[in-house]
Protein backbone atom coordinates (compact mmCIF):
# COMPACT_ATOMS: atom_id res chain seq x y z
CA UNK A 1 0.00 0.00 0.00
CA UNK A 2 1.24 3.45 -0.87
CA UNK A 3 1.41 6.49 1.33
CA UNK A 4 -2.00 7.62 2.57
CA UNK A 5 -2.65 11.08 1.13
CA UNK A 6 -6.42 11.25 0.55
CA UNK A 7 -9.14 11.64 3.14
CA UNK A 8 -12.91 11.13 3.14
CA UNK A 9 -15.66 11.38 5.71
CA UNK A 10 -18.13 8.57 6.30
CA UNK A 11 -21.01 9.03 8.70
CA UNK A 12 -22.22 6.11 10.85
CA UNK A 13 -24.90 5.98 13.47
CA UNK A 14 -23.65 5.50 17.03
CA UNK A 15 -24.35 1.76 17.14
CA UNK A 16 -22.57 1.07 13.83
CA UNK A 17 -19.55 3.07 14.90
CA UNK A 18 -19.32 1.25 18.24
CA UNK A 19 -19.36 -2.08 16.39
CA UNK A 20 -16.59 -0.83 14.11
CA UNK A 21 -14.52 0.30 17.09
CA UNK A 22 -14.97 -3.08 18.81
CA UNK A 23 -14.01 -4.95 15.62
CA UNK A 24 -10.94 -2.73 15.15
CA UNK A 25 -9.91 -3.19 18.77
CA UNK A 26 -10.19 -6.99 18.43
CA UNK A 27 -8.01 -6.85 15.31
CA UNK A 28 -5.65 -4.35 16.95
CA UNK A 29 -5.98 -1.80 14.19
CA UNK A 30 -7.61 1.55 13.59
CA UNK A 31 -11.18 1.95 12.35
CA UNK A 32 -9.77 3.44 9.14
CA UNK A 33 -7.50 0.44 8.57
CA UNK A 34 -10.43 -1.89 9.27
CA UNK A 35 -12.53 -0.14 6.62
CA UNK A 36 -9.68 -0.11 4.07
CA UNK A 37 -9.14 -3.84 4.67
CA UNK A 38 -12.84 -4.54 4.14
CA UNK A 39 -12.80 -2.57 0.89
CA UNK A 40 -9.74 -4.51 -0.31
CA UNK A 41 -11.44 -7.82 0.53
CA UNK A 42 -14.42 -6.78 -1.60
CA UNK A 43 -11.99 -5.83 -4.40
CA UNK A 44 -13.23 -2.25 -4.34
CA UNK A 45 -9.70 -0.90 -4.00
CA UNK A 46 -8.03 -3.15 -6.57
CA UNK A 47 -6.96 -2.08 -10.00
CA UNK A 48 -9.87 -2.78 -12.36
CA UNK A 49 -7.45 -3.05 -15.29
CA UNK A 50 -5.70 -5.97 -13.63
CA UNK A 51 -9.07 -7.71 -13.09
CA UNK A 52 -9.96 -7.12 -16.74
CA UNK A 53 -6.59 -8.46 -17.82
CA UNK A 54 -7.07 -11.56 -15.66
CA UNK A 55 -10.53 -12.18 -17.13
CA UNK A 56 -9.13 -11.78 -20.63
CA UNK A 57 -6.32 -14.27 -19.94
CA UNK A 58 -8.81 -16.78 -18.50
CA UNK A 59 -11.03 -16.50 -21.55
CA UNK A 60 -8.06 -17.26 -23.82
CA UNK A 61 -7.14 -20.51 -22.07
CA UNK A 62 -7.73 -23.64 -24.06
CA UNK A 63 -9.44 -25.76 -21.41
CA UNK A 64 -11.09 -29.13 -22.02
CA UNK A 65 -14.83 -28.60 -22.07
CA UNK A 66 -17.41 -31.20 -23.02
CA UNK A 67 -20.85 -30.53 -24.34
CA UNK A 68 -23.41 -29.53 -21.72
CA UNK A 69 -25.04 -32.96 -21.38
CA UNK A 70 -21.69 -34.63 -20.62
CA UNK A 71 -20.67 -31.91 -18.16
CA UNK A 72 -24.05 -32.13 -16.41
CA UNK A 73 -23.63 -35.93 -16.01
CA UNK A 74 -20.16 -35.39 -14.51
CA UNK A 75 -21.43 -32.72 -12.13
CA UNK A 76 -24.33 -34.87 -10.95
CA UNK A 77 -22.09 -37.92 -10.59
CA UNK A 78 -19.63 -35.91 -8.50
CA UNK A 79 -22.41 -34.50 -6.31
CA UNK A 80 -23.76 -37.96 -5.50
CA UNK A 81 -20.40 -39.34 -4.32
Is the pLDDT at 76 greater than 80? The verdict is yes
Q: Whole-angstrom Cα distance, residue 40 to residue 51? A: 13
DSSP string across 12-49: --HHHHHHHHHHHHHHTS-HHHHHHHHHHHTTSSS-HH
pLDDT digits (tens, 9 = 90+) for 4-30: 899 999 999 999 999 999 999 999 999
pTM: 0.54
Amino acid sequence: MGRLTKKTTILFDAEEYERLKRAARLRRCSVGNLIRSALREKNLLSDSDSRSDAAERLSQLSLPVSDWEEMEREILAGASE
